[in-house]
Chain A
Amino acid sequence: MQDWREDKTFFRATIALPVIWFLIFFVVPMAMVWAYSVGENVGPVDVEITGTFANYAKAFTPEVLKVMGDSIVLAFVTTLICLVVAFPVALAMTFADEKQKAWLLLLIMLPFWTNLLIRTYALIAVMRSSGVINTGLEGLHGLLAFAGLQMGTFEPLPLLYNKFAVVVGLVYVHLPFMVLPLYAALDRLDKSLIEASLDLGAGHLETIRRVIVPLAAPGIAAGLVITFIPALGAYLTPDLLGGPDDLMIASLIERQFKRANDWPFGAALSFILMYITLLFFAIRAFMERKGGKVGAH
């Protein structure tokens, strides 16, 4: 690494464009949102930056708090399900041979690279009342009725447009976010420790609980944050799979901009979501540093 003063022109030539781009198209827009979050509507289109906290106060009304509470619960449940589902997958990947590893990684990553909208749409096709699951159940129902069972009329399961659908959709979309950091953490583990635990008579589950999980804790924490944050800010999944009562923060923000036309309030909500996000990343960075120190001793 070279000090920038040794070669000022070259340094400037390489760093200038990315930094300027970042400032104009990221920092300036975000600063505008921040300014608006302390502004007031003074006309149909005019907003005055008055330094008020009224927009943030508005976020603490019961209706908005309900949406935020729902969002946090939905994202949290999603994250836990992802953890439970992804842990064995990551474990299997860690101890697979090179070729199997590559295949498993590809299989996990492929849906992740597939268009989010297409994946959500595919879920709708499976879960709607005339979708694959309900048609299959109807067939089964008909078969049982044909066999002489008293079945009553078939009612399609209400799989879509409720919180259940939102959680299924969020898990479906965010599972790779959990698998990858878990795998990265487990892959770095000293495998002889696990072997030692098994040799010394601990069962597999006990080894997982008392050896693997504590050692992989930083990776698990990373996975939790990396899954929770996008799930909390998800827009498309709750919008398409949820019902009218299953609003999440992102939809509420979108409404302020596209329908309600209350930009200052939307800006404040957007920054509340930003603060939550940054808080989680700060906690994670802090834990990583602490974990690193413990590991060094």
Chain B
Amino acid sequence: MAKKVARAPLDYLNMPAMKAWLAGVFVFLYTPLIILILFSFNDSKANVVWKGFTLKWYVKAFENTQLREALLNSLLIAGVCTIISVVLGALMAFAFWRFKFPFKGPLESGMSLPIVVPEICFGVAVLMFFAKIGFPNDLPYPFNLTQIILAHVTFAFPFVAIVVRARLESFNSELEAAALDLGATRYQAFRDVIIPHMKPGLIAGGLLAFTLSLDDFVITFFASGPGTITFPVKVYSMVRFSVTPEVNAASTIIILITVIATVLALRAQSATTKES
């Protein structure tokens, strides 16, 4: 189709007022982040006036053992959380997609509650739960992260289930029937026909679980035992005292990881919609 020269009546995006509005919104959304990234390279402790390019805050951030430990903890938690969430989320999506069973509706609504419940409510619930069952607080590393991982999986896997379920809707059930006709067992058909179809959903869901876990502060704040720190918890305590360029540098690294994960997730998801 040839591109129109004059603005079509519904082409709101090309209205000057709309362009200005969009520009304003994106300036609002991105200025703080861009300033944060810029000042992570600024050779000044005061953080406001540009004094020249430096990488020393990155060096400092990496030399800060606590910060490094917190970052590694967060990545480890997010990694384990992703694996468990993908398995649980995929099973849940499959079961709800495939079977009719009594109390299905209420169970489905119930299991999406972790998505809608305010973080603070689930956070205190987790705190109370681990305190009451007497979960050991002094496990050696990395097992001292168990509580946080358990809590993260609980709110992350329903998100994975939603993404995988959306993917399953485009599955052609005749493929599975064909596999069964040709002599595959239920499990073989599941493994060799359904799981490959789920794959883009699994990737997108997994990356979602990863970012959710990496992002979480409130639930971690309540679930973590004394002495376990994650990146957001560490940054929180640093921000309480002062704004330092070290935090800028560490934040920039996390932003970079997030942007990569998001772009990968969107790619996986757009592959999903294109095929369907």
Q: Interface of A with B (CB < 8 Å)? A: 1-4, 7, 10-11, 14-15, 17-19, 21-22, 25-30, 32-33, 36, 85, 88-89, 91-92, 94-96, 100, 102, 104, 106-111, 113-126, 128, 130-132, 135, 172, 175, 191, 194-195, 198, 229-230, 232-233, 235-236, 240, 249-250, 253-254, 257, 263, 266-267, 270-271, 273-274, 277, 281
Contact = CB atoms under 8 A, between A and B. Distances in A.
Interface stretch (B52-60, B61-69, B153-161): B153-161
B203 interface: no
Give the interface residue-count category, chain B.
35 or more
A128 B243 contact: yes
Given A18-B92, A175-B29, A1 B98 contact: yes
Query: Chain B interface mostly helix, strand, loop or mixed?
Result: helix
Interface in B170-215: 186-187, 211, 214-215
Contacts of B153: 21, 25
Nearest to A191: B10
B251 interface: yes
A130 B44 CA distance: 14
Contacts of B26: 107
Interface in B104-137: 107, 110-111, 113-114, 116-122, 124-129, 132
Contact of A22 (B111, B119, B124, B243): B111
B14 to A, nearest CB: 9
B91 A15 contact: yes
A26 B120 contact: no
Contacts of B258: 113-115
B99 A3 contact: yes
Contacts of A107: 26, 29
Given A33-B121, A253-B120, A257-B124, A122 B98 contact: no
Given A113-B261, A113-B262, A117-B236, A122 B33 contact: yes
Contacts of A92: 12-13, 18, 21-22
B32 A122 contact: yes
Contacts of B150: 25
B130 to A, nearest CB: 9
8 contacts: A10-B187, A14-B98, A15-B91, A27-B110, A107-B26, A172-B28, A198-B9, A235-B119
A11 B243 contact: no
Interface string B132-147: 1000000000000000
Given A2-B100, A92-B22, A172-B28, A274 B121 contact: yes
Given A118-B235, A274-B117, A277-B118, 20 more contacts: A2-B99, A3-B101, A11-B99, A18-B157, A21-B157, A26-B125, A26-B154, A29-B128, A33-B121, A95-B12, A110-B259, A115-B258, A132-B48, A191-B10, A233-B121, A240-B239, A250-B120, A257-B124, A266-B124, A277-B121
Contact of A263 (B13, B35, B36, B128): B128
Contacts of A26: 113-114, 122, 125, 154
Contacts of A2: 98-100
Nearest to B158: A22
Contacts of A119: 32-33
A288 B29 CA distance: 31
B95 A88 contact: no
Nearest to B8: A95
B132 A32 contact: yes
A4 B266 CA distance: 34
A45 to B, nearest CB: 9
A71 to B, nearest CB: 11
A20 to B, nearest CB: 10
Given A3-B100, A14-B95, A126-B35, A111 B30 contact: yes
B32 A125 contact: yes
A88 to B, nearest CB: 5
B275 interface: no
A155 B11 CA distance: 45
Contacts of B247: 121
Contacts of B126: 25, 29
B26 to A, nearest CB: 6
Given A11-B95, A92-B13, A115-B254, A29 B117 contact: no
B128 A33 contact: yes
B49 interface: yes
Given A26-B113, A115-B255, A95 B92 contact: no
A14 B194 CA distance: 13
B195 to A, nearest CB: 12
Contacts of B266: 106, 109
Given A118-B254, A253-B124, A233 B118 contact: yes
B2 interface: no
Contacts of A21: 88, 153-154, 157
Contact of A236 (B218, B263, B270): B218
A281 B113 CA distance: 11
